[in-house]
Structure 1
Amino acid sequence: MTGETTRLHGLDAMRLFLMVFGIPYHAALIYGLHTSWLFHAPESSWGFAALAGALHSFRMGAFFLLSGFFSALTIGRRDVQSWMSRRAVQLLVPLAVSMAILTPPQLLLFVMARDNLPISAWQMALPGVVAILAHPNKLWVLHLWFLIDLFLVCCVFAGSYRVGARAFRAPLDRLERFAIKAPRLLGVGLLAVLVGGTLVLQAMQAANHHRELNLFHDMIQIQSTLYYMMFFALGSVLYMRPAILRWFAAPGFLTGIMGLLAVLGCGVCAPSESHAAQVLLPALATVATILVSRWMFRLALEHFNEPNNWVGQVSGASYTVYLLHHPVVAMLGFICVREAVTPILSWLSIVAATTIVTVTFHVTIVNRSRVLAFLVNGRALRQGAHTLRSHTMRDA
């Protein structure tokens, strides 16, 4: 697993599925009951809200877990400073480009929906867009929060890597031996620790009058960043300790059933406005993330680890699809809502069209231009800097 030439094809496939899940998730928010997005259809569906809650329960946590795994893999191949410099380029260049190019059109749709303006009167929405852009706020980043959080987590990881590697060597050695001797207890202990961490973060929010602790005009939500940092840390441990990885990637049938129940529980709780459901939801999402990720690792490494050109090409497009799918879903969803397309037909059309458009854009345009690959994927402009391409930003 740790060899210089190892290509983790199975985890490419896992990343592909996680990327694809983002498209139906955001499309479902347009029609979900009690869901909040750029705009909302007049019809509200419990089913779409449940679907969005189920998909979101594990998707982002699994992304951060993969990011931690690949970060631990790549940081050992170069010095920490150069690794962090490369990560900064990979994350911040696409972030800046996307904020400049992709955010304003989405804000235009937001203002048009808010003010109930017809498509033909889009110019009337421009003052509202300018007003939003004039003052920093969370609408500046929209779905790009992931890049900000990942950059912050990578900063912490790089800053603590050398000290942490020494300080945690002995505890991780003991944990690795424990994974061999008592795998079931390790599973229970892992869930207890991460659910406990989730409850601590919820308590922090409750102490702050049930408001998120925010920085930079709500663009950074501290509890959210800390929450996903837990999964990033777990991912890095999985790479650094092979015995723990073997345990993690070998879940039993009961683990799968429990993971499915946790996902379904999140789907039920997400549309609910009851206080109990909203308190339970984060803990259930943590359980879902761990259990579903274990099965995804198993399936990825056992059944998808052979070279596959199609999976390689499409998973290589994951960063582009991540950046572009949100505005494409917004544009198509806005048109469908205005044209009163039935919700299920609208959702299916948006998911299919967005997948095709974004993947095609990457394969036919981004992949053929070094400049675009740099601006959209943060890929190095120099040919010699492509050696780690398989394991760099594809973990986002």
Structure 2
Amino acid sequence: MERKHYLDHLRAFLMFLGIPYHTAMIYSTNTDWLVSSVETSFLLTWVFQFTHTFRMPAFMIISGFFAMMMIRKQGDAVWLRSRFFRLGVPLVSVALLVNPWQMLARALAVPDVPDGGAPDAWRNWLSLLSSPGGHWIEQLWFLADLLIYSTVLALGWRYGAKLRLGSLCNAGLDLIGRDRKSAVLALILTGTGVIAAATAGSMLDLNILLSGMIQTIRTVAFAPFFLLGAALAYRPEWLDRFTTIHWPAGIAAAAACLILTLVEPREEPVYKAASYFLTPVAGILSAHVLLCAARRWFNHANALTRRMADASMDVYLFHMVFVCWFGLLFTNTSWPVMGEFALIVIGTTIASFGVHALVRRSETLRFLFNGVSSSGVSANGMSRSDRSRERRCVRGLQNGP
């Protein structure tokens, strides 16, 4: 298969976009984040809410694409073992070694009494450290979801023939890809399915599991993106069609993302239903636009994008702790909001690249935060030649935001 440079570049861009995305949340007018400034910005609130409508959907599609490409190349057992090391080891390492410092910043930002003070922050921090919950994984949720999707994909790949699912899947793909009307209908049914899943999960009290570390509705809502990416790799002609601009779809993407930006913060049931429906619709349509643009203008290799792709995983894993601590420094200042925002983004980018420089020089750190080893046979059982082939296929593309 011809190297898809634009997928490398787009994935790196989406990972780095996490820095301004999370920084903007500090100044949100309607979100109480880990660290919140006394100064808010309507513009930055719109920035992070609008970014949320397309960033992770496009990333999940790219992850699904490379997942299918590699499972066909390596086989389900070798590939899934690789995924558990490449995704699971960084998930555990960052949760235990890095995220406690995010919790400390959160504890310092939200004291128990009006005048604050170190003792109150200490109690807050100990409370977070001693309780299970989503604060342990925070920005790492996508790694947990990708492990779930990867397991399902590998099981389907192994047992699909025995259960006679192959012909059924092919028939479904034939129906969806028959014409644009069929694709639009599939998009509508996907949005409706997410609403149904959210409703069922709420009735059965299954939307939040493991004290919030697994948000079932989010896992379900993002699954169509991963599956679409896998379908694009399974049927290469789909990728060509999906990355050829269709202007009505581009206009629909802009409209869907704008509406989702407006309705997603609302808690009323009708707005939540609209948000669930629009998440896959806006995500798939906007991913179409992003992949078309990337294929048109960035389908070539250069040193800068290669370096960004190589660093993107480390940058994403570590950027949140820097955003939190830099944000904490500015929470009670009276500097212009946009100036603070720019300084946090720049400082976080530099600091995260610094961490990447340390990680790439240490075999231990590469294993902890990338799940890979440079020894003859890595922990995932792949030989050096196997890993070399994988790097040539997806260099810098650990399936992960």
- TM-score (normalizing by structure 1): 0.89
SS of 1:265's equivalent in the other structure is helix
Report the Cα distance in structure 2 between the residues aligned to 1:354 and 1:116, rounded to whole angstroms: 28
Report the Cα distance in structure 1 between the residues aligned to 2:302 and 2:6, rounded to whole angstroms: 9
How many angstroms does 1:291 deviate by? 0.8
Report the Cα distance in structure 1 between the residues aligned to 2:88 and 2:176, rounded to whole angstroms: 37
Q: Which residue of 2 aligns with 1:305?
A: 299
Q: Choose which of 123, 132, 139 in structure 1 pairs with 2:128.
A: 132
Q: Choose which of 167, 170, 185 in structure 2 pairs with 1:170.
A: 167
Asked if residue 339 in structure 1 is aligned to residue 336 in structure 2, the reply is: no
Asked if residue 17 in structure 1 is aligned to residue 13 in structure 2, the reply is: yes
Gaps spanning 5+ residues in structure 1: where? none
SS of 2:273's equivalent in the other structure is helix
Q: Which residue of 1 aligns with 2:37?
A: 41
1:1-396 mapped onto 2 (5 Å cutoff): 1=1, 6-115=2-111, 122=118, 125-164=121-160, 167-171=164-168, 173-174=170-171, 182=179, 184-208=180-204, 213-272=207-266, 274-362=268-356, 364-382=357-375, 384=384, 385-389=387-391, 390-391=393-394, 393-396=397-400
Report the Cα distance in structure 1 between the residues aligned to 2:140 and 2:229, rounded to whole angstroms: 22
Report the Cα distance in structure 2 between the residues aligned to 1:119 and 1:232, rounded to whole angstroms: 47
SS of 2:230's equivalent in the other structure is helix
Residues 314 and 359, structure 1, Cα contact 8 Å, conserved in 2: no
Change (3 A) 1:42 1:89: same
Report the Cα distance in structure 2 between the residues aligned to 1:271 and 1:228, rounded to whole angstroms: 18
Residues 329 and 354, structure 1, Cα contact 8 Å, conserved in 2: yes
Report the Cα distance in structure 1 between the residues aligned to 2:75 and 2:373, rounded to whole angstroms: 17
Report the Cα distance in structure 1 between the residues aligned to 2:115 and 2:371, rounded to whole angstroms: 34
Change (3 A) 1:334 1:119: farther
AA in 2 matched with 1:394: Q
How many angstroms does 1:122 deviate by? 4.5
The 10-residue stretch of structure 1 (338-347 or 30-39) with the greater mean CA deviation from structure 2:
338-347
Residues 380 and 386, structure 1, Cα contact 8 Å, conserved in 2: no
SS of 2:398's equivalent in the other structure is helix
Q: Which residue of 1 aligns with 2:381?
A: none
How many angstroms does 1:175 deviate by? 5.6
SS of 1:368's equivalent in the other structure is coil
How many angstroms does 1:172 deviate by? 5.0
How many angstroms does 1:79 deviate by? 2.9
How many angstroms does 1:168 deviate by? 4.6
How many angstroms does 1:128 deviate by? 2.5
Residues 259 and 292, structure 1, Cα contact 8 Å, conserved in 2: yes
Residues 256 and 282, structure 2, Cα contact 8 Å, conserved in 1: yes
Residues 46 and 271, structure 1, Cα contact 8 Å, conserved in 2: no
SS of 2:54's equivalent in the other structure is helix
How many angstroms does 1:242 deviate by? 1.4
How many angstroms does 1:329 deviate by? 0.8
How many angstroms does 1:314 deviate by? 0.3
Gaps spanning 5+ residues in structure 2: where? 377-383
Change (3 A) 1:339 1:376: same
SS of 1:365's equivalent in the other structure is helix
AA in 2 matched with 1:39: V
Residues 221 and 279, structure 2, Cα contact 8 Å, conserved in 1: no
After superposition, the C-alpha distances for 1:275-327 in whole angstroms (9 at most, x for unaligned) are 44333223222222111111222222333222222111101211111101111
Residues 179 and 244, structure 1, Cα contact 8 Å, conserved in 2: no
After superposition, the C-alpha distances for 1:16-63 in whole angstroms (9 at most, x for unaligned) are 221122112111111112213212222333332222111111211222
Name the % identity. 30
Residues 222 and 280, structure 2, Cα contact 8 Å, conserved in 1: no
How many angstroms does 1:92 deviate by? 1.4
How many angstroms does 1:133 deviate by? 1.5
After superposition, the C-alpha distances for 1:240-285 in whole angstroms (9 at most, x for unaligned) are 0112222212231121111112222222224445544333223222
After superposition, the C-alpha distances for 1:121-140 in whole angstroms (9 at most, x for unaligned) are 54652333222222212211
Residues 141 and 219, structure 1, Cα contact 8 Å, conserved in 2: yes
After superposition, the C-alpha distances for 1:315-361 in whole angstroms (9 at most, x for unaligned) are 12111111011111111111111333322211122222222332343
AA in 2 matched with 1:146: F
Report the Cα distance in structure 2 between the residues aligned to 1:178 and 1:243, rounded to whole angstroms: 15
SS of 2:73's equivalent in the other structure is coil
Residues 63 and 395, structure 1, Cα contact 8 Å, conserved in 2: no
SS of 2:186's equivalent in the other structure is helix
Count residues with an aligned counterpart. Answer: 388
Report the Cα distance in structure 2 between the residues aligned to 1:254 and 1:74, rounded to whole angstroms: 33
Report the Cα distance in structure 1 between the residues aligned to 2:6 and 2:25, rounded to whole angstroms: 30
Residues 176 and 244, structure 1, Cα contact 8 Å, conserved in 2: no
SS of 2:212's equivalent in the other structure is coil
Residues 80 and 158, structure 1, Cα contact 8 Å, conserved in 2: yes
